Amino acid sequence: MSPNLALNQQVAERRAAGEDIVHLGFGESRLPAFEPLVAALVAGARRNAYGPVQGDAGVRAAVAGYFSRRRLPTDPGQVVVAPGSKPLLMALNLVLPGDVLIPRPAWNTYAPQAALAGRRAVAVAIPAEAGGVPDPAELCRTVAAERRAGRDPRTVILTLPDNPTGTLAPPALIREICAVAEREDLTVVSDEIYRDVVHDPAVPFLSPCEVVPHRTVVTSGLSKSLALGGWRIGVARFPADGPGRMLRDQVLSVASEVWSTLAAPMQEVAAYAFAEPPELRAHLAAGARLHGAVARAVHAVFTGAGAVCRPPAGGFYVYPDFEPLRPVLAAKGVVDSPSLARCLLDRGGLAVLAGHLLGDDVGALRFKAATSMLYGDTPALQWQALRSDTPLTLPHVAAGLRRIEDGVRRLVS
Amino acid sequence: MSPNLALNQQVAERRAAGEDIVHLGFGESRLPAFEPLVAALVAGARRNAYGPVQGDAGVRAAVAGYFSRRRLPTDPGQVVVAPGSKPLLMALNLVLPGDVLIPRPAWNTYAPQAALAGRRAVAVAIPAEAGGVPDPAELCRTVAAERRAGRDPRTVILTLPDNPTGTLAPPALIREICAVAEREDLTVVSDEIYRDVVHDPAVPFLSPCEVVPHRTVVTSGLSKSLALGGWRIGVARFPADGPGRMLRDQVLSVASEVWSTLAAPMQEVAAYAFAEPPELRAHLAAGARLHGAVARAVHAVFTGAGAVCRPPAGGFYVYPDFEPLRPVLAAKGVVDSPSLARCLLDRGGLAVLAGHLLGDDVGALRFKAATSMLYGDTPALQWQALRSDTPLTLPHVAAGLRRIEDGVRRLVS
């Protein structure tokens, strides 16, 4: 089972046994559904017929507009809609040839999907400045070494902004990776599902699709930005022509055999959401602000305790490194990623996803913490957090932050 | 692309160009959504969080009850819920070892799924009495021949009742196949998505899961019996223990990496539908009656024109064989499955799915006709058909039948 889901189960069992645990191990946005989205679903509730495999024409036009507004001019024919971006990424794994290069650490689904599709996944270390992308020099070296070994690296997956590090690779870095992709003839899969959760709208976002559009497939969805994980709405944008167009046709062929279509009532939701009317933009902006404020606060807790951690720029994650505290931790038997996560849970009452479960070095003292679990356990508390100009001062958010502080203190002292 | 979906598109284009086409090529139930199902979806419309990969406990309990009422005692732990039965069948393809044996003809998704998963699909002819199952003697011979050739047949897929032939394999035949499965150590995947569309409740239904429960996985869903193809709700029932239990865990692992979960609002629908309250049973019975009446009428049209055709017993398909008319058809250039379907479309205005697209012999003069397209083009007409004791006398249904008669006449005369 996916390790985050296994952790979920473990947390549920410990809570049932009476333990007080702060669950920072699940990548869910933890906000209520925005009311116009609910209204769109209800409006679509009588649509019971199979829709087109590629998605409704209206939905694809809306998605094309969404990408076009992000400097990616898009025709509706380039868009495929699906029940989540996971099936789209799996379909790409099933049709793309060769091995796939993924950042280390990375979202814990890329490597297992590659394995299910019978592809080799090759992890490449991320640079110091940001995760979600392989270090360009490392990428070159790895491609060369793989080819010398008779292997066939053909795809690289990027995550912009990144899960698990919560960072956003800057434009210069993207350009370097695109240059490598061009030179080495790699297809770029750019997972941009957190794009609308960049905390500060002034931070520049460069998609590889702006640089090497003919070789880039962009995936996205509504699970993160609109907290619709439970509705399963994903999209992919393919190149307009050439091999990228054929790739779209191959993915559509997989779609028709494996999932048929996005559920018809959900197409109504997608048509509304990807059109981005003003009230939805305001809602998205409020979400990004809240995610940023809380992620920065959690970041401050970890760095305050002595960890090093890249500052979060998007999404709702931080990925601290407790290496500076290795001597202190070693005295408590914490010597690697599994023992760190276990000790945080047993002594600190904090559930986090150990770095090695994300492909990171098992000897490193790193983990992913999902910060969105602090917004509250009820829709009322979550709305309060979303609407507040100072969410950190809300009693329930402040209490959650104190619990993390306490947990970290119990770990290191 | 899946050939039925490709045909759909072709029909839409021809209609847009002004042609009058009766579309018998798409396996959709073509009835409106039953109002309590819509109410359940609306009731779930605020559920935006990720649910459990396996499905809500309540939904799985309802599905366990559904199977238990069908002589398959089931614990909720044996049930996996998913966005359609297609992803579940694909997951089985990804985790089951060896080659897969499928009936010839069969639903046009089994073989492509096997190919996507890197498995060999081996077609075995169906017996004279019913489709959806390989002829038992043929099955024995094929398994032996495959093994002699160094191959590894390990799974057999059955469809009960069958798509495309619209027939239901009788219990004696099921027992014979189960005996082969037992002797040859084959896993049985029993696709029972049409089970609640058996036309006559007095016709006995035997699931292989009643005979060899330890080696049978049953898949089903709401797309056919409740006309919810556009909602994507499927289920699988795994053996309670032993290797079947491990198979469930492997499928759950695939699920967690490929589709996460059935959309949360749809879980409300599934909980309602699989509990089968009295009003839903009445609705299901009305649907089965209508499907049977119209399928029998279309069957009579084809046999009346000189084709041979197994009488339909479940679902909404007939699968005529125009072999007796080969000399007449040859004079018009119709000599095989593709030319037969093309001529029916061009001369007769009838869109059907050619037999070779379902794995059948390309030289045979066979096709699948979906009879559900006759219920009407609007919900009002469809409700009228569903509620009528004599649906064949309704003007729109009678007109559709006449159009088929005309189309067949233009083909053969």
CB-based contact A265 B41, cutoff 8 Å:
yes
Tokens coding B347: 């001369």
* B348 in Cβ contact with B369 (< 8 Å): no
Could you tell me which residues come within 8 angstroms of residue B191 by beta carbon, excluding any fewer than 6 positions away? Answer: B85, B89, B107, B157, B158, B159, B160, B219, B220
Tell me what the pLDDT averaged over chain B comes to: 96
Share of chain B above pLDDT 90, in %: 94
- Name the residue facing B231 among A30, A227, A264 (closest C-beta): A264
Tens digit of each residue's pLDDT (9 = 90 or more) over B93-115: 999 999 999 999 999 999 999 99
What CA–CA distance (Å, rounded) separates B121 from B123?
6
What CA–CA distance (Å, rounded) separates B274 from A364?
48
Tokens coding B272: 């309602």
What's the confidence (pLDDT) of residue A1? 67
> Sorting pLDDT into bands at 50, 70 and 90, what band is B29?
confident
- Name the residue facing A33 among B48, B227, B232 (closest C-beta): B48
Mutate to test the interface with A, among B2, B5, B48 (most CBs of A within 10 A): B48
Evaluated on CA atoms B61, B63, B65, B71, the torsion sign reads: negative
Mutate to test the interface with B, among A8, A13, A48, A256 (most CBs of B within 10 A): A48
Mean pLDDT of B131-157: 98
List, for chain A, all residue ranges whose pLDDT scores fall below the cut of 70.
1
Share of chain B above pLDDT 70, in %: 100
Q: How many CB pairs under 8 A join A and B?
A: 154
- Name the residue facing B38 among A46, A84, A90 (closest C-beta): A46
CB-based contact A256 B83, cutoff 8 Å:
no
Q: Of A362, A338, A336, which is closest to residue A7 (Cα–Cα)?
A: A338
What's the confidence (pLDDT) of residue A395? 98
Mean pLDDT of B365-388: 96
CATH number corresponding to B37-276: 3.40.640.10
* A24 in Cβ contact with A371 (< 8 Å): yes
CB-based contact A116 B257, cutoff 8 Å:
yes
What's the confidence (pLDDT) of residue B3? 80
Whether pLDDT at B7 is above 90: no
> Sorting pLDDT into bands at 50, 70 and 90, what band is B90?
very high
Q: Which residues of B touch A47 (CB under 8 A)?
A: 230
What's the confidence (pLDDT) of residue B62? 98
Instruction: Break chain A into its structural domains and give their ranges.
Output: 3-30+280-412, 37-276
Print the SS3 string covering chain A.
CCHHHHHHHHHHHHHHCCCCCEECCCCCCCCCCCHHHHHHHHHCCCCCCCCCCCCCHHHHHHHHHHHHCCCCCCCHHHEEEECCHHHHHHHHHHHCCCEEEEEECCCCCHHHHHHHCCCCEEEEECCCCCCCCCCHHHHHHHHHHHHHCCCCEEEEEEECCCCCCCCCCCHHHHHHHHHHHHHHCCEEEEECCCHHHECCCCCCCCCHHHHCHHHEEEEEECCCCCCCHHHCCEEEECCCCCHHHHHHHHHHHHHHHHCCCCCHHHHHHHHHHHHCCHHHHHHHHHHHHHHHHHHHHHHHHHHHCCCECCCCCECCEECCECHHHHHHHHCCCCCCHHHHHHHHHHCCCEECEEHHHHCCCCCCCEEEEEHHHHHCCCHHHHHHHHHCCCHHHCHHHHHHHHHHHHHHHHHHC
What's the confidence (pLDDT) of residue B1? 67
CB-based contact B90 A32, cutoff 8 Å:
no
- Evaluate whether B3-30+280-412 and B37-276 have a shared fold: no
Q: What CATH number matches the domain at B3-30+280-412, 3.40.50.720, 3.50.50.60, 3.20.20.100, 3.90.1150.10?
A: 3.90.1150.10
- Name the residue facing B87 among A42, A50, A258 (closest C-beta): A258
Tens digit of each residue's pLDDT (9 = 90 or more) over B36-83: 999 999 999 999 998 899 999 999 999 999 999 999 999 999 999 999
CB-based contact A257 B41, cutoff 8 Å:
no
Whether pLDDT at B26 is above 90: no
Please classify residue A125 by burial: count the beta carbons closer than 10 Å to its beta carbon, then call 0-12 exposed, 13-18 middle and 19+ buried.
middle
Tens digit of each residue's pLDDT (9 = 90 or more) over A4-37: 777 887 898 899 999 999 999 988 888 999 999 9
Give the nearest chain A residue to B48 (CA atoms).
A230
